[in-house]
Amino acid sequence: TGRPGSTGKTGRPGSTGKTGRPDRAGKTCKTGKTGRPDRAGKTCKTGKTGKTGRTPLKGGGRPDNAGDTAYERRNKALAPYDKALQKNPEDAAAWVGKAAVFLRHRMYSDSLKAFEKALEIEPSNPAYLYEKGFVLLQLKRDEDALQAFDRLLEIKPNSDKTWNLRTSVLCRLGQHEKALEASEKALAANPKLAGAWNAKGSVLVDLGRYEEAIIAYDAALKINPDLSRAWEGKAFALYNLDRPVEATIAYDAALKINPDNAKIWVGKAMVHLKLGKHKKALGPCSQAILIKPDLAEAWYCKGLALAGLEKGEEALGALDRAIRLNPDYVEARKARNSLSSKLGFDLDDDEDEDEDEREEGRPEVRKSVWTKREPTSEIIKKSRGYGRDQRGEGPKKSEWTRKEPKEEKTEKSWGQGREQRGERTERSVRTRRGPKGEETEKKVGRGRETKK
């Protein structure tokens, strides 16, 4: 071999065959075969590579699994674990691997079954217990998750992450004092755990201790400034302390990190409403609905914004939607009833009876007319003029709403004065004149007839 590029013979061989070195621009020698790829990683027109070690697939395919469906990717990921379990059904690690695949694909029930299989083999494995508790949380089985975490803490009492998750479970169960104790234990085990500070802030917010909650959120953000949950929690605490400007700044920081969180958009809209900026609140409400159309809080917020803009019918429609999504949404019901009363619409709402029946725990609950009957627009249309109908009066229409066309009215009113006075209506010759040619014929010979 000689010097590359001068004689056309190959120089230093590449890894795949007889290749030469490219020149500085990344081009190949005169032989047309490639050597090293250029700096951009591109190969020559022949399709052969040098030291990259990868060759393009036939038919223009991709070397990765980007073309596979989620079902195919899941099955490929499960295949090695299924193969291992065929050889040894008591392989706990294989069961955990299988559970992790299901968890990644949000198949929580299947993931739980696999974790339970692993725990049958190794019942005291703290990692398996932690994962089982986490999956139970995703399935909203809070009591079962709490039992899993308690079992784990018996084995590993200083597990900061377990104490942190236990805080969240207790908070969801409404046991806020116990949740606060759990958060303190998590921080005692690891004071630099941002999630534990955030969990403590959430508990303090639920207890109405907003100033302390802000301190906890600030501690979390000092450790992890990109924790959107902490920004959101801090914003909510500031909102409740009547500090709307600071709350807006915190919500904007949260949205910068996580713009696809519908609840953060709702929070920002509520701050605008507090400042009396109803038109400005509509934007965040619409964004929240766009992200999550079934979020009742977003429709409630939109209803309040529309009501503030004096768009009563649209506001009732939005509040109606919020109640349909969440029939137990007390604030939405109160806002809807207050607005309908203000507008004078009789919606035939059985809310008081509904609440009594819910308190008594009856199995069959009578729902509001808004959740089972006609849409808001239809009810409003029917309720117009309702008071006059009850008094036996017909709806009074304005003269301007039933005017006749100008020409028709002119014809009817022509000579109206004479008819009222009992005089015979005389028509002008001009109003009953025939065609011009016919009139001329009549005039011609009129003198002769007279002479005769």
CATH assignment at residue 358: 1.25.40.10
Amino acid 344: pLDDT? 78
Amino acid 8: pLDDT? 42
What whole-number distance in Å separates Cα of residue 54 and Cα of residue 134? 41
* N- to C-terminal Cα separation, the chain: 140
Largest CA distance in the chain: 141
Count CA atoms closer than 13 A to 398's CA, side-chain side. Answer: 2
Q: Is residue 231 part of a domain?
A: no
343 confidence band (pLDDT: 50, 70, 90): confident
Better pLDDT: 418 or 184: 184
What whole-number distance in Å separates Cα of residue 369 and Cα of residue 365? 12
Q: Which of 212, 213, 231 is nearest to 221 (CA)?
A: 231
| Chain segment 294-316, per-residue pLDDT in tens | 999 999 999 999 999 999 899 99
Amino acid 70: pLDDT? 83
Q: Is residue 266 part of a domain?
A: yes
Amino acid 71: pLDDT? 85
What whole-number distance in Å separates Cα of residue 72 and Cα of residue 222? 42
When divided into structural domains, the chain yields a total of: 1
Rg (CA), the chain: 40
| Chain segment 79-132, per-residue pLDDT in tens | 999 999 999 999 999 999 999 999 999 999 999 999 999 999 999 999 999 999
Q: Is residue 78 part of a domain?
A: no
Amino acid 382: pLDDT? 53
378 confidence band (pLDDT: 50, 70, 90): low
Q: Is residue 438 part of a domain?
A: no
Give the domain range for residue 289: 260-385
Amino acid 354: pLDDT? 52
Task: Check if the beta carbon of residue 177 is closer than 8 Å to that of residue 148.
Answer: no
Amino acid 440: pLDDT? 46
Q: Is 43's pLDDT higher than 90?
A: no
| Chain segment 133-150, per-residue pLDDT in tens | 999 999 999 999 999 999
Q: Is residue 316 part of a domain?
A: yes
Amino acid 341: pLDDT? 86
Q: Is residue 110 part of a domain?
A: no
Whole-structure pTM value: 0.60
381 confidence band (pLDDT: 50, 70, 90): low
Amino acid 324: pLDDT? 95
Amino acid 345: pLDDT? 74
What whole-number distance in Å separates Cα of residue 133 and Cα of residue 162? 9
Q: Is residue 346 part of a domain?
A: yes
Amino acid 94: pLDDT? 93
Q: Is 391's pLDDT higher than 50?
A: no
4 confidence band (pLDDT: 50, 70, 90): very low
Better pLDDT: 48 or 344: 344
67 confidence band (pLDDT: 50, 70, 90): low
Mean pLDDT of the chain: 75
Task: Check if the beta carbon of residue 97 is closer than 8 Å to that of residue 103.
Answer: no
Least confident of 44-48, 138-142, 441-445: 44-48
Amino acid 135: pLDDT? 95
